[in-house]
Amino acid sequence: MNQLLIGIEIGGTKLQVVLGNCKGEITDRQRFKVDRASGAQGIRDQIEGALANYLRGKGNIVGIGVGFGGPVDREGGQIACSHHISGWSGFPMKHWLKSLTDLPVIMDNDANVAALGEALAGAGKGCNPIFYVTLGSGVGGGVVVDGAIYHGSKPSESEIGHIRLDRSGLIVEQECSGWAVDRKIREVVKERPDSCLAQLIGNSSSNEAEFLGDALKAKCPLAQSILKETSQSLAFALSHVTHLFHPEAIILGGGLSLLGQPLLKGVAVEFSQYLMEALKPGPVISLAELREDVVPVGALLMAGAAFLCAD
C-alpha cells in the first residue's frame, strides 16, 4: 500500500491540511481561513477536525510535517510564538499532534519549509544553494544547502525580514511585507483620492495590496512608485544575503510575489547596483513556482525525508 503523509501549513491568514506523498505530490486538501479573533485555539479546532477527516479512512499514513508561521523550537517540539495570532507561545505542537493521531511529527518555521519545497520541487530545482524569501503577512526567509534546510544555531530561522535597511532601525518587514504595502497604499490614496489606485480600492479597508496588480496594469503612477520603492528595499536586502551566502538562486514567494513579473523585474533591475563587481551578475532571481502550495509541499517533503527511507 502506498505510504501517505499529512502536511500542515499554519499561517497568519490561512490554514491548509493536505494529504500526499514523499515526493510532495498533494492528493487531497482542506483549506481554511484563519479567524484571528479566535486565536490559536480556533486554529487547533480546525486542525483537529481536518485530521479526523483523514484518519477516518486512515489508509497508510506514516507521519506529519508542519510548517508554522513563526519561530519554533524544533527539537523541543514547541511553538516559540506567533507574531500574528495570540495563544501559540510555548504550545507543545508535536505532543498535541501525536496525541491526536499517534503519528510521528516533524515541524519547522514555514519559510524554511517553503524553501525546501521550492528547492526540491519548484523554481530551485537543480540549484544549490538556494535562498527563499516569503513576502506575506511578514517577511521570512529560508536557506537550502545540498537538499536540506540550513538551520544554524537556535532559533534557526533566516530572518531577512528583520535585516535593517538603515541605522535608524527600519527593517525589511516594515517596507516589503504585504501589510507594509497595504499601509503605503492607504497613505497615498488618502492624499490622492482621485487616483486610479483609489478608484480600484473603493470602500475596501483591508488587503489593499491585492489591488496593486490591477493598478500596475493600468499604468497607475502611484502603483508604479510603490512597486519601485518596495523593489529597491527588497533588492538591497537580498544583496546582503548574496554577499553572505552566495546562493545560486533566489526565489520570491508569498502573497506579494503573486504580482508576478512586475515585482520580479523591479527587483532584478535594482539588485545589480548593490552587488560588488566580483559577484555580478549574481544569482538567478525567480518567482516561486509552487505558489500557495509551497508550504504544504515542503511539509510533505520534510516529513518524507524524516519518516520514509529514500527509494
Burial 244-254 (b: 16+ CB within 10 A, else e): ebebebbbbbb
Tell me, what's the pLDDT at 155?
Answer: 62
* Amino acid at site 302: M
* pLDDT for the residue 213: 93
Question: In angstroms, how far is CA 294 from the centroid of its own chain?
Answer: 8
Is the same domain home to 86 and 195? no
Taking residue 239's Cβ as centre, other Cβ atoms within 10 Å add up to 19
Those residues with Cβ within 8 angstroms of residue 102's Cβ, 6 or more apart along the chain or in another chain: none
* 138 and 239 co-located in one domain: yes
Same domain, 265 and 299: no
Q: Are residues 95 and 216 in the same domain?
A: no
Give the H or E element holding residue 183: helix 178-191
On whether both 130 and 105 belong to a single domain, the answer is no
Which residue type is seen at 137? S
3-state secondary structure of 126: coil
**Phi then psi for 88, rounded to 5 degrees?**
-100, -20
**Grid coordinates 489606485 are at which residue?**
197
The values of phi and psi at residue 142, to 5°, are -155, 145
The answer to whether residues 150 and 252 belong to one domain is yes
Query: Is residue 160 included in any domain, yes or no?
Result: yes
What distance in Å separates the CA atoms of residue 57 and residue 179, rounded to the nearest whole number? 40
Indicate whether 49 and 157 sit together in one domain: no
Whether residue 10 is contained in a domain is answered as: yes
Residue 139 and residue 103 share a domain: no
Number of domains within the chain? 2
Angle among Cα 239, 241, 244 to the nearest 5 degrees reads 110
In a domain, 251, yes or no: yes
Residue 133 lies in a domain: yes
Q: What pLDDT sits at residue 58?
A: 62
27 and 106 part of one domain: yes
Query: What is the grid cell recorded at 87?
Result: 495563544
Q: What angle do CA 136, 139, 142 make, to 5 degrees?
A: 110
Query: Which residue range(s) make up the domain with 207?
Result: 126-289
- Length in residues, the chain: 311
Looking at the structure, tell me whether residues 16 and 109 fall in a common domain.
Answer: yes
Residue of 253, 292, 285, 290 lying closest to 23 (CA atoms): 290
| Strand residues in 69-159 grouped as ranges (E) | 72-73, 78-79, 105-109, 130-135, 139-145, 148-149
Q: Tell me whether residue 121 is in a domain.
A: no
Give the DSSP letter string of 162-177.
G-BSSTT--BTHHHHS
Report d(CA 231, CA 150) in Å as an integer. 26
CATH of the domain at 163: 3.30.420.40
Kindly state whether residues 144 and 264 are assigned to the same domain: yes
Q: What is the pLDDT along the chain (311 residues), one digit of tens a residue?
A: 589 999 999 988 889 999 999 999 999 999 999 998 999 999 999 999 999 999 987 679 999 999 998 889 988 999 988 878 899 999 999 999 999 999 999 999 999 999 999 999 999 999 999 999 999 888 999 999 999 999 987 766 788 999 999 999 999 999 999 999 999 999 998 899 999 999 999 888 788 899 999 999 999 999 999 999 999 999 999 999 999 999 999 999 998 999 999 999 999 999 999 999 999 899 999 999 998 899 999 999 999 999 985 44
Q: What is the DSSP letter of 217?
A: H
pTM of the model: 0.91
Q: Where are the alpha helices (DSSP H) in 4-82?
A: 39-56
Whether residue 232 lies inside any domain: the answer is yes
Whether residue 78 is contained in a domain is answered as yes
Are 135 and 246 in the same domain?
yes
Spatial distance between the Cα atoms of 31 and 258, rounded to a whole number of angstroms? 19
pLDDT of residue 183: 93
Alpha helices, DSSP H, located in 102-164: 110-121
